[in-house]
Amino acid sequence: MTETFSGSFTQQEPIPDEAIEAALAVLRHGRLHRYNLAKGELGETALLEQEFAAQTGARYCLAVASGGYALATALRAVGVRPGDAVLTNAFTLAPVPGAIASVGARPVFVGVTESLTIDLDDLEAKAGTARVLMLSHMRGHLCDMDRLMQICDDAGITVIEDCAHTMGAAWNGVPSGRQGAVGCYSCQTYKHVNSGEGGLLVTDDEEIAARAVMMSGSYMLYERHLAAPGPEVFERIKYHTPNISGRMDNLRAAILRPQLRALDAQVARWNERYQRIEAGLRGTPGLTVIERPEAETYVGSSIQFLLLDWAADKVQEVLRRCIARGVELKWFGTPEPVGFTSRYDSWRYAESAPMPASDRVLAGIVDMRVPLTFSLEDCDLIARIIRAEVGAVHQS
């Protein structure tokens, strides 16, 4: 009998009861705007920022409307100007070059290795061309952060970390987002906490923090923040920093606070599922599992493998056979952007030179979501299906 899988690859878990109760309390009092506070009230958004700063060990935190907004705000806050070059990953998703383009800057793409991380040799070669690197920890894979920071420190490059896929991850125990000057996170439904839309930005730099708060639309109400610098820092920047509204609201913050408290437990559940799938795939002829470095604490909310040097029609055949059995895989080798699987040469507003070594890797990347609604048995079944179909096409 041919086994098939009937679960949904896009179905996340429900919002926890504690978060629903907190959201209802906000709805009942009606003060959804973050600065609309009753006497003595601190507000869900300010508390969320205070708690996330403590959780990541950052001095400052700002909650905003989306992960993409956090990225663009970080670029502006570190002083990126129209026309500036900004280094970024060739293997990432559209909001990353999009954030760079949104401030009028130019993405300069850095290659991807077979470990699915930024090519540090290519970064070193391009280090002289830009002042800022927007480093995307794409699909949760952390590069050798010690070497990356050394390259960037030596070249005077400011690092902004895109942690949309690494909230809860760490490198040598340092939370992802805490090695660069700014860390940016997404709280959108498909990420590690779910408020529909939302973003968080952390930094230890008081001027970056103050500029980000002003830009997000604080008017002159910055003293209502609990994880922002003191008023003397705002005095220095407030007349020179435009308001580009993108605030978080108290409803979303209320939903997020209990989810952040449960993050470590959720990470453990994701990794159990990831490891079951990985174990099921390991040793499949023609398929390369991505090895995770020892220094990396990852969050297995998605899994990737390589069908390296396979002909495009064979990869497509694997995808067709898997979806026929209910297993939805995405492929980064597709020449046309499909759903989220765009590639550096899909973003035609940004110039890019061909990158043959990266093209070879991208042409082999197969990607799959691992929502927490999958049971461990589901994960075993999915791995069996992929293994069988990769095997069948590989042999043919």
Q: Does residue 66 bind ligand PLP (CB under 6 A)? A: yes
**Cα angle at 82 between 163 and 103, to 5 degrees?**
40
E strand or H helix that includes residue 215 = helix 206-217
Among 162, 206, 249, 296, binds ligand PLP (CB under 6 A): 162
Residue 188 or residue 284: which is nearer to ligand PLP going by CB? Answer: 188
Among 26, 87, 95, 229, binds ligand PLP (CB under 6 A): 95
- Determine the Cα–Cα distance for residues 323 and 239; give it in Å rounded to an integer: 55
Residue 116 or residue 385: which is nearer to ligand PLP going by CB? Answer: 116
Task: Dig out the tokens for 54 from the structure.
Answer: 């403590």
Residue 93 or residue 181: which is nearer to ligand PLP going by CB? Answer: 93
The dihedral formed by the CA atoms of 307, 310, 314 and 318, expressed in degrees to the nearest 10: 0
- Determine the Cα–Cα distance for residues 234 and 65; give it in Å rounded to an integer: 21
| Residue located via tokens 């297993």 | 327
Piece in contact with ligand PLP (CB under 6 A), picked from 150-158, 159-167, 276-284, 377-385? 159-167
Task: Dig out the tokens for 13 from the structure.
Answer: 């878990």
Q: Does residue 186 bind ligand PLP (CB under 6 A)? A: yes
Among 45, 88, 92, 194, binds ligand PLP (CB under 6 A): 92
Residue 165 or residue 330: which is nearer to ligand PLP going by CB? Answer: 165
- What is the DSSP-derived secondary structure letter of residue 10? T
Q: Does residue 67 bind ligand PLP (CB under 6 A)? A: yes
Task: Dig out the tokens for 366 from the structure.
Answer: 């197969």
Q: By CB neighbour count within 10 A (0-12 exposed, 13-18 middle, 19+ buried), where does 261 fall?
A: middle
Piece in contact with ligand PLP (CB under 6 A), picked from 65-73, 115-123, 223-231, 291-299? 65-73
Provide the minimum distance between the beta carbon of 116 and ligand PLP in the complex, in angstroms, as a whole number: 12
Q: Does residue 68 bind ligand PLP (CB under 6 A)? A: yes
SS3 content of the chain, % helix, strand, coil (to 5): 40, 15, 45
Query: 194, 14 in Cβ contact below 8 A?
Result: no
| Residue located via tokens 């942690």 | 163
Q: Which residue is nearest to ligand PLP (CB)?
A: 67
Provide the minimum distance between the beta carbon of 252 and ligand PLP in the complex, in angstroms, as a whole number: 11
**Nearest in space to 167 (alpha carbons), one of 58, 244, 79, 242:** 58
Among 73, 136, 195, 304, binds ligand PLP (CB under 6 A): 136
- Subset of residues 163 to 182 that bind ligand PLP, contact rule: CB under 6 A: 164-165
Q: Is 162 helix (H, G, I), strand (E, B) or coil?
A: strand
Beta-bridge partners for 61: 202
Residue 194 or residue 250: which is nearer to ligand PLP going by CB? Answer: 194
Residue 56 or residue 66: which is nearer to ligand PLP going by CB? Answer: 66
Among 45, 88, 166, 188, binds ligand PLP (CB under 6 A): 188
Total residues contacting ligand PLP by CB under 6 A comes to 15
Provide the minimum distance between the beta carbon of 299 and ligand PLP in the complex, in angstroms, as a whole number: 13
Q: Does residue 138 bind ligand PLP (CB under 6 A)? A: yes
Provide the minimum distance between the beta carbon of 370 and ligand PLP in the complex, in angstroms, as a whole number: 15
Q: Does residue 361 bind ligand PLP (CB under 6 A)? A: no
Beta-bridge partners for 37: none
- Determine the Cα–Cα distance for residues 281 and 343; give it in Å rounded to an integer: 25
Q: Does residue 97 bind ligand PLP (CB under 6 A)? A: no
For residue 223, the tally of other CB atoms under 10 A from its CB is: 10
Among 87, 96, 237, 365, binds ligand PLP (CB under 6 A): 96
Q: What is the DSSP string of 82-122?
A: TT-EEEEESSS-THHHHHHHHTT-EEEEE-B-TTSSB-HHH
- Determine the Cα–Cα distance for residues 203 and 212; give it in Å rounded to an integer: 10
- Subset of residues 275 to 334 that bind ligand PLP, contact rule: CB under 6 A: none
Piece in contact with ligand PLP (CB under 6 A), picked from 88-96, 114-122, 127-135, 272-280? 88-96
Query: 91, 138 in Cβ contact below 8 A?
Result: yes
Q: Does residue 88 bind ligand PLP (CB under 6 A)? A: no
Q: Does residue 194 bind ligand PLP (CB under 6 A)? A: no
Q: Does residue 45 bind ligand PLP (CB under 6 A)? A: no
Provide the minimum distance between the beta carbon of 381 and ligand PLP in the complex, in angstroms, as a whole number: 27
- Helices 263-281 and 250-261: crossing angle in degrees, nearest 10, is 60
Which residues contact ligand PLP (rule: CB under 6 A)?
66-68, 92-93, 95-96, 136, 138, 162, 164-165, 186, 188, 199
